Amino acid sequence: MEIPATMTNPDRNSHEISPDTFDIIGKILKNRTGFSLDSYKDKCIKRRISIRIRATHSPTAEDYSNLLLNNDAELDNLLKVLTIHVSHFFRNPTTFDKLRTEILPILFRQAQTEGRDSLTILSVGCASGEEPYSLALILREYFAEQLSQVQVRIHAIDVDAATLVNARNAVYTEDRLAEVSEELRTRYFDCRDNKFYLHQSVKEMVTFEQRDLYETGSFADFNLALCRNVLIYFERTVQEKILSGLAAALHSGGFLVLGKSETMVGESRKLFKTICPVERIYQVL
Ligand SMILES: C[S@@+](CC[C@H](N)C(=O)[O-])C[C@H]1O[C@@H](n2cnc3c(N)ncnc32)[C@H](O)[C@@H]1O
């Protein structure tokens, strides 16, 4: 798949990625890692690829795609940059406040009224586990009584296997805990060598699975789904498909939380009622 010299332009600025080169990089990624660029926003992906072009000092995008062909470590680096895993505990704390004070109490009441003894929560694009573990911390800290009657299962998915290894290990640097109160730090983390180790009792509330968010339509019966800061990378038509998959994955009356810069698009607006526009909380109709 080496790019012929005729396709390269020595004057091309390294930030510019031609459609041919973009296509080739996409094929290398798909063939060697299974990761498909197809549904992501081109602009967003190109910006990320440019980061790696600069970092590897490749003179042009074509040189970079040739480098990718022979360098597995760089392929891993590119994949990491493309699926950014930036997250931290209680990211957007007001959203977690709303979940704690309004949404979770409604869900426990719903379970009671419907005579169910379990609730299921889905965290989509969970990165290193900060989001699902934040929910687990809230549940343990504020809903101990309810947990003795209703079992809560938190299922977290991400497309990236390496980030899930970190999620399962649940060892964090202090910057990831900036929004965690001193009480919660003391109660649920052990601190050694400037690393914070999450307690087993919280870890075991969450199960992790490597899965693509396109497949959420094959899930069923979740009472609450968080899909935050992931949709933003996808084309609008794909966002619509993902949102209808999430609607299908939710139990009737279930809630969906999006990231602060994400919103319902197109037909998906008809599938959800807006509960809190500021916190991007929706309820499936
Ligand atoms: C910016 S992080 C968001 C983490 C967390 N939800 C939050 O808001 O802090 C985006 C995560 O989405 C994951 N992701 C990207 N594309 C995905 C896909 N197609 N399926 C599942 N996860 C995906 C990335 O691997 C990354 O861990």
- Rounded CA-CA distance 225/281 in Å is 10
CA 79 to chain CA centroid, nearest Å? 14
Task: Give the per-residue pLDDT at 2.
Answer: 45
Taking CA atoms only, the protein residue closest to ligand 1 atom 17 is: 159
Enumerate helices (H) and strands (E) in the chain, giving the number of each: 12, 10
The SS3 assignment for 19 reads helix
Task: Give the per-residue pLDDT at 200.
Answer: 98
Q: Are 223 and 110 in contact (CB under 8 A)?
A: yes
Pairing of strands 281-284, 250-258: antiparallel
Q: Decide: 163 in ligand 1 pocket, CB within 6 A.
A: yes
Q: Which residues pair with 206 in a beta bridge?
A: 154
Taking CA atoms only, the protein residue closest to ligand 1 atom 7 is: 87
Q: Decide: 159 in ligand 1 pocket, CB within 6 A.
A: yes
Task: Give the per-residue pLDDT at 1.
Answer: 47
- DSSP for 147-195 reads HTTSEEEEEEEES-HHHHHHHHHTEEEGGGGTTS-HHHHHHHEEEETTE
Tell me, in angstroms, the distance from the centre of ligand 1 to residue 80's CA: 11
Exposure string over 149-176, b if 16+ CB within 10 A, otherwise e: ebebebbbbbbbeebbebbeebebeeeb
Atom of ligand 1 nearest to the CA of 212: 20
The residue type at 82: L
Q: What is the pLDDT along the chain (285 residues), one digit of tens a residue?
A: 444 433 444 334 446 899 999 999 999 998 988 788 887 888 888 988 998 999 999 999 999 999 999 899 999 889 888 877 789 999 999 999 999 999 999 999 999 999 999 999 999 999 999 999 999 999 999 999 999 999 999 999 998 888 999 999 999 999 999 999 999 999 999 999 999 999 999 999 999 999 988 877 678 899 999 999 999 888 889 899 999 999 999 999 999 999 998 999 999 999 999 999 999 999 999
Q: Decide: 239 in ligand 1 pocket, CB within 6 A.
A: no
Q: Decide: 83 in ligand 1 pocket, CB within 6 A.
A: yes
Task: Give the per-residue pLDDT at 13.
Answer: 44
Q: Decide: 176 in ligand 1 pocket, CB within 6 A.
A: no
Q: Which residue among 158, 172, 180 has the greatest number of ligand 1 atoms within 8 angstroms of its CB, and so is best to mutate? A: 158
The pTM of the full predicted model, rounded to 2 decimals, is 0.83
